[in-house]
Amino acid sequence: MAAFRNREFLMPRSPRLIVSLMIASVAAASLAIGPAAAQMAKTPETKALETAPSEKAVPGSKAQVQLSFAPVVKRAAPSVVNVYASHVNPRGTTRSAMDEFMRRFFGEDGSGRGGPPGERAQRSLGSGVIVDESGLVITNNHVIANMNEVRVALADRREFEATIVLRDPRTDLAVVKIKSPTGGLVPMPFGDSEALEVGDFVMAIGNPFGVGQTVTQGIVSALARTQVGSSDYQFFIQTDAAINPGNSGGALVDLHGQLVGINTAIYSQSGGSHGIGFAIPASMVRAVVETAKGGASSVRRPWLGARVQSVTPDIAESMGLDHPTGVLVASLQAKSPAEEAGLKRGDLILTVDGKVVDDPEAFGYRFALKGLSGATQFGILRGTNRSTLSVKLGPAPETRPRDTLKVRTRSPFLGATLVNTSPAVAEELQGDFPADGVAVSGVDEGSVAARAGLQKGDVIVAINGMPIATTKDIERVTRNSLNVWEVSINRGGAVLTSVFGG
């Protein structure tokens, strides 16, 4: 089963980041507070806690040490669900020309493995959290990536079909909606992830290793972790609450039973928990959920039109800083919000609306949360002068039609999806693209384009010496059966040229 394949995948020989997939299928146990606990609640110490629930303090008595997390679990557990995702690709006896080409040269499914015709299925297993009474469920994108069928199992064992409402690979979040819920859904309220402090108690709820719904407890070990590498917007909550393969998409909960994060990754040597787990903060989760509630199928974020880089110790010393902080403006796009706000190359951005940013990942996260209207304030250092600039918020413009081209003819581009460049495309693909060009927006796994080495974000510069400006140029070239293909691409500012046989 897929669960065993995932488990095997999550046991590397050396330390690495592990993104877990899971199946969650067991109902939450019924929890109650007994007479002893009720009596305990009447002690002076617990009365003091009740009158000041927002104050943080270490236990001051034996009675406080014996207090239970059970009431919090009882509130939160019914909101955590199991997500079953699958992709079924039926194959009949009739083949298209492309199917036959892929079968002859790369095997039955384009992977080189071959095999008889028949139905092929992929399956993925994970958790999710109900965030709205209408049946909206937030989960990790990697749980449903490439899937077309989703089922959701509630903690009380009811199961429903669900539709995929929104996918956001850049945050590794996705939203699905339960079809025709019969009532009784318990949405989990959002907590304030910005108010979390290192040392706060949290609980992780999910289905580790497929054993059934499980609750683990720990503390917030660190905040604003940016070197995790599981999404574009890295600003994770780190916790030592046990998170294992199977917890992906589950809830990280505070002591008020509120959602403060979505568990998404672990760092492990063996595939199991070593006390280093990561969760996407609720502030980002809320933004994705609100987008889904508004009816959008994708998340749009504000466009800055500038590229920033990290501040090294040497740069910090040259700028008179006592330690590296902020992000350095490396380049600006013409007529962008950054240029219009007065930002200049070499400026150091220290804060976004008063929130300190220490690296490009933290800056990207803070800026992405600002929405698509109004303005945000950058605290900057230019030379020795500190000032504040107001940056207008809005989406990146689509300055020309994308004219998306899915290449299906025999060529080095077979299996690639190509689009005309624009600021909107550059923002989505995180690249500095020319105004007139064609970018690779996707490459099918195992396809000819993948084997040729094409990557998402590449810009096609020329084919056989002919400059490429639009997808129509490539469509025109690929109609011909060429014996030799000389392809030049721009990848991260470097132009690479390769020659392929026809």
**pLDDT tens per residue, range 212-235:** 778 888 899 888 776 665 556 677
Determine the residue type at 367: F
Last residue of a domain, one of 269, 294, 319: 294
Burial class (CB in 10 A: 0-12, 13-18, 19+), 36: exposed
- pLDDT average, residue stretch 387-401: 93
Q: Is residue 272 one of the residues assigned to a domain?
A: yes
* Same-domain status, 362 and 289: no
| Shared-domain flag, residues 121 and 186 | yes
Q: Which residue has the tokens 């299906």?
A: 408
The answer as to whether 219 is a domain residue is yes
Q: Is 248 a catalytic residue?
A: yes
On the CB side of 10, CA atoms within 13 Å amount to 27
Q: Which of 79, 221, 230, 248 is catalytic?
A: 248
Tokens read off for 379? 């605290």
Q: Is 231 a catalytic site residue?
A: no
Same domain, 148 and 191: yes
Look at 286 and 111; give whichever has higher pLDDT.
286
Within a domain: 98: no
Residue 355 lies in a domain: yes
Q: Is the confidence at residue 114, as pLDDT, over 90?
A: no
pLDDT at 51 over 60: no
**Rounded Cα distance, 391 and 377, in Å:** 6
Is the pLDDT assigned to residue 469 strictly greater than 80? yes
The residue range of the domain holding 238 is 1-34+68-90+106-294
On whether the CB atoms of residues 449 and 412 are closer than 8 A, the answer is yes
Q: Are residue 383 and residue 466 in the same domain, yes or no?
A: no
Q: What is the pLDDT of residue 272?
A: 53
Which pLDDT score, from 0 to 100, does residue 477 have? Answer: 85
User: Taking CA 216 as the corner, what is the angle to CA 122 and CA 249, rounded to the nearest 5 degrees?
Assistant: 30
Q: Kindly state whether residues 429 and 311 are assigned to the same domain.
A: no
Count of domains forming the chain:
3
Same domain (yes/no): 212, 79? yes
> Mean pLDDT for the chain?
79
**Do 473 and 378 share a structural domain?**
no
Residue at 46 is within a domain: no
Pairing of strands 385-392, 159-168: unpaired
CATH number of the structural domain spanning residue 488: 2.30.42.10
pLDDT of residue 438: 93
Is the same domain home to 236 and 375? Answer: no
Domain boundary among 294, 326, 345: 294
Quickly state the pLDDT bin for 394 (edges 50, 70, 90): very high
Tokens matching residue 398? 């689509």
Band (pLDDT 50/70/90 cuts) for residue 240 is confident
Predicted confidence (pLDDT) per residue in 411-466, tens digit: 899 999 999 999 888 888 877 777 778 999 989 988 999 998 999 889 999 998 89
pLDDT over 70 at 281, yes or no: yes
**282 and 315 part of one domain:** no
| Coil, helix or strand at residue 500 | strand
Helices (H), 41-184: 44-51, 62-65, 70-76, 97-106, 141-144
- Identify the active-site residue in 172, 240, 254, 347: 172
- Catalytic member of 79, 124, 142, 221: 142
Residues 242 and 166 in one domain: yes
User: 112 pLDDT exceeds 60?
Assistant: no
pLDDT band at 111, cuts 50/70/90? very low
- Of 248, 271, 294, the one marking the end of a domain is 294
Rounded to whole angstroms, the maximal C-alpha distance in the chain is 86
Q: What was the pLDDT predicted at 231?
A: 56
Share of the chain above pLDDT 70, in %: 77
Instruction: Give the containing element (helix H, strand E) for 122.
Output: strand 120-130
> Do both 317 and 284 map to the same domain?
no
Distance of CA 403 to the CA centre of its chain: 27
Contacts of 382 by beta carbon, 8 Å cutoff, 6+ apart? 344, 346, 347, 348
Q: Distance between CA 289 and CA 283 in Å, rounded?
A: 10
Residue 109 · residue 115 · CB < 8 Å: yes
Q: 445 in a domain, yes or no?
A: yes
Residue 62 covered by a domain: no
Q: Is residue 397 part of a domain?
A: no
318 and 268 share one domain? no
What's the number of CA atoms in the CB half-sphere (13 Å) around residue 206?
38
pLDDT value for 226: 67
Amino acid occupying residue 421: T
